Structure 1
């Protein structure tokens, strides 16, 4: 059981729930409470089952908890508060013989030990007293209904660390909702509970105690002892008359003296805490599942938007879209615009030699085509990257968790990255250099031929780029008008130098290289959204680890009952 609970604690620690989804606050609170109970009570108690019985005195504001503790000890060891709420450290009173159990961080390890009274709720004041019998310790906790959240949280944590709850209420407060929420938790986990009805006028004792007993019975706490402390004056030390707390003191002393009775209380509370823990684990596992599901949906939305952008760029780079405007004008300057292109509009089956003789490109014209291609591709990339960012931003804002993530970042992810333009420019130039290198390598054994010399490496690389931009869909020549004719002309120029098969291979390689570079460029844009999700550090395995841990706990419990 111990090793299973240790693994469950590790799973709970990794089960982060950062996304704002329905009911997540309930799961977050449960996770923190479960971790606290494992650290503060269950694991320490399992390791040292024979440790003294820890009785936590808790209750509502003004119920008289501190006065009761002082009266049980017979000395003023904890300071009652005059003003509400009383912000102070909890006080743990124990017999000096049991100091080894409490002065080290065996229980409540996150509370700093101190011997002085403090207003710091992060400290645990330790008090040695011979009035407390060996085998028993009494802890005075803050108010469970304090107006200060820090007090309420600490009170709940301390009650979760108790072997025995000594729940203090009063005739004026016993029906309040908050105390009964805590008592319901105690009943759900079969915790050992004793009720103290404090500050009760003698005339009201029978009526109030009868009603309170019925309420306890109706809420599964029929077997919980009920003690009555009549309303009375305190002495100069702030203590109640010894006779009013005699019954409570005697009951606690009998528990401390009877090892069997003490162990029965410990085991009842411990087994109930473990059973409750396994049950509550499934709710946290469900919350982990929902977190992963929502994060996956957000990630898929981003991936779909940028995949669409990539497809649109790919389509535009292949259907002749780029062979218009500035690119077309510069290309026509390179190849000439006379009878050659006019004839190509209606007839594309030119002999290679005719094409070779007709083209009159110059090096400076080739450079202008390269610049125009760069500008056209850059505009295309920016346009579709902006659209992808807008689509992803809109999709995320339809989900509360997505809105919160976008609102928490200083980046404006509805727009493309500010540095996308220079990065796109670099990528395009690298691709163009790659095309140039392909042509140079392919023409290694043709550099001395007349045709190669006629166009040069730059001219042939320009022709390859133009051909790539209208190379899919089976549409060629006059079927795509001037753009298609321009691409066919580029292909004929390449074929005149390299031959049909080599040209097809060059086109395929250049196109694949362009697509790969576009993929990496847009992936860096999509990653801006992915980084927000990655920063959440959601565990993909936490859900199953939690469920497996809960199942294993139940298996061990059932097996122990059978034996």
Structure 2
């Protein structure tokens, strides 16, 4: 049954309205940017950083943002501790009757139970704090109930809800939350215990005379010290003869770990009554302490500010570790990217070298070119002058167009083979380098990327034909002038195109000249032929444009191939320093609040 009480108007956290608004804007921006952080690479620190990011987001939602928006909300005292420490028994004793589960079966706290004064109900019935937990309204009963029922009707649905119990025995201004065991055998319970403790304004930490030095509780206590949270340590079931020694040792441990200001409450070993209740006197000092805190509104505000500021400072540290992990991810991704780009850039260099040193003019290309020009006849023509060469070639070209097409086909086949071979080499190198890196190995998984894509040969062939078509268009455009039109028409577009391709593949001196490579006189034939039609300067310009076009097309082909690697890399944040700046801003906020 819901209460009719409503909380007062929510007050800004601290300072002026403007500064409070700025603080909230900062925290909401931090939450938004942190939610977008992705750490997908398998790096040593990634798992811990992902958990830090999740914890930071949860603490923003569960505690920091709600508390900044409502500094005057009741304090939340979370009762936590080890398995069997007596947390539920302690809570029952604080209110004077059974309201939580206690017993020998572990874990006993199936769902967290939040006890509050009826006047404070409105602060907890909505999702102001712990928004991921649904609310269940529990009811008190005057009937005598066994410990296994605990006076509250509980849902059996794991730990996804928070049971609210209104009880006038709880002081107005402080709510008490009975949390699961911090070292529970249930993973869900352990996670929930951590979440609830992170949402607390103050901790009531329960341990026993024989468990107070356990590692798990102390890890959480050190976390409390980092948040500067108010802590009350309850040492339960202490034999009378050991009280002085045990309490002194525990106090020494607290002092050493920066928790010297923590309140220490001793509960002597004693028998429970029929309802599993401690004697009221056993918890009177703790009850009095809680009631005194609740009665002091100004004191509650100071406690809330202290915990809030400490939590924001701890948040800055968490985000700092996430920022460092993000930097490591970006550096690892950049390394994998660089390895890929290097492999394909080297392939590009080798392809271009093969297209300008005459290597492509061997074998089939050379044979088709010699078939096309008629090797003996053309070399004799060179000795007799370029004029007679033009006349003989013109007659040959007009009568035999098919051999020119064979030259184009041979060049396409040879160039395709070079590009495919070098692209495969690049893929093999990139795959090898990625698999040598844990992050790259994770991104590749079981997929083999060491060869070219299935459709790459067809794509390369189409790109080469497009280059050849553009080269023909260059010749057609160059031959539109009246003074060259007749000579261009006499030789034919395919013949001139074949000649220009041979010239392009024999360029060993860049774009400053048309020196010939290994094909020797074969390339001279094409060069002199083109010069006879267009002139030396025009031929140099045509060859430069054709080579630049081929270079761009080769680069585009390899760029598309390397995407199978690069597309697996995580996106780089637009603002890499964003989280680091948030760390600085949060630190200033905690220091100046």
Please give the TM-score of this superposition, normalised by the length of structure 2.
0.86
SS at 2:41 equivalent = coil
Q: CA RMSD in A?
A: 2.5
3-state SS in 2 of match to 1:245: helix
Kindly indicate whether residue 517 of structure 2 is the aligned counterpart of residue 480 of structure 1: yes
Question: Is residue 389 of structure 2 the alignment partner of residue 355 of structure 1?
Answer: yes
Corresponding residue of 1:199: 237
For residue 81 of structure 1, report the CA deviation from its aligned partner: 6.1
Match of 2:265 among 227, 230, 252: 227
Q: CA deviation at 1:68?
A: 2.0
Partner secondary structure for residue 55 of structure 2: helix
Say whether 1:552 aligns with 2:585.
yes
Q: Could you tell me how far apart the structure 1 residues matched to 2:507 and 2:433 are? A: 34
- Indicate conservation of the 8 Å contact 1:21/1:291, yes or no: yes
Q: Which residue of 1 aligns with 2:121?
A: 99
| Partner residue, 1:177 | 215
1:183 CA displacement: 0.7
Q: Does 1:418 align with 2:451?
A: no
Secondary structure at 2:121 match in 1: helix
**Tell me, what secondary structure is at the counterpart of 2:158?**
coil
Cα distance change on mapping 1:395 and 1:281 into 2, 3 Å: same
TM-superposed CA distance for 1:540, in Å, is: 4.4
1:539 aligns with 2:573: yes
How far apart, CA to CA, are the structure 2 residues paired with 1:40 and 1:60? 23
Report the CA distance shift for 1:350/1:539 in structure 2 as closer, same or farther (over 3 A): farther
Kept in 2, the 8 Å contact 1:63–1:168? The answer is yes
| Structure 1 residue 151: Cα displacement | 2.5
Number of corresponding residues: 550
Question: Which one has more relative contact order, counting CA pairs under 8 Å at least 6 apart?
Answer: 1
TM-score (norm. length: structure 1): 0.91
Worse-matched range after superposition: 467-476 or 97-106: 467-476
Give the CA deviation at 1:392. Answer: 1.5
Q: Distance in 2 between the 1:269 and 1:226 partners?
A: 19
CA contact (8 A) 1:436 1:461 kept: yes
- Residue 477 and residue 250 in structure 1: after superposition, are their counterparts in 2 closer, same or farther (change >3 A)? closer
* Change in 2 beyond 3 A, CA 1:81/1:457: farther
1:187 aligned partner: 225
- In the other structure, the counterpart of 2:502 is 466
Change (3 A) 1:186 1:395: same
Query: 1:66-123 CA deviation, whole Å, 9 max, x = no partner?
Result: 2222332334433336443457332222122111111111111122223343442222
C-alpha contact 2:310 2:590 (8 A) present in aligned 1: no
Q: Output the CA distance in 1 between the equivalents of 2:177 and 2:565.
A: 49
Which deviates further from its counterpart, 196-205 or 503-512? 196-205
**How big is the shift at 1:297?**
1.7
Distance in 1 of aligned mates of 2:431 and 2:517: 36
In structure 2, distance between residues paired with 1:220 and 1:231? 28
In structure 2, the CA distance between the partners of 1:399 and 1:170, relative to structure 1 (3 Å rule), is same
Match for residue 169 of structure 2 among 117, 127, 131: 131
In the alignment, does 2:519 pair up with 1:497?
no
SS at match of 2:325: helix
Q: Could you tell me how far 1:454 is from its partner in structure 2?
A: 4.2
1:312 corresponds in structure 2 to: 350
Match of 1:67 in 2: 89
Aligned to 1:19: 41
Deviations 1:298-342 (A, max 9, x none): 21111111111111111111111111111111111111132535x
* Structure 1, gaps ≥5 residues long: none
Structure 1 Cα separation of the partners of residues 314 and 515 of structure 2: 77
Partner of residue 10, structure 1: 32
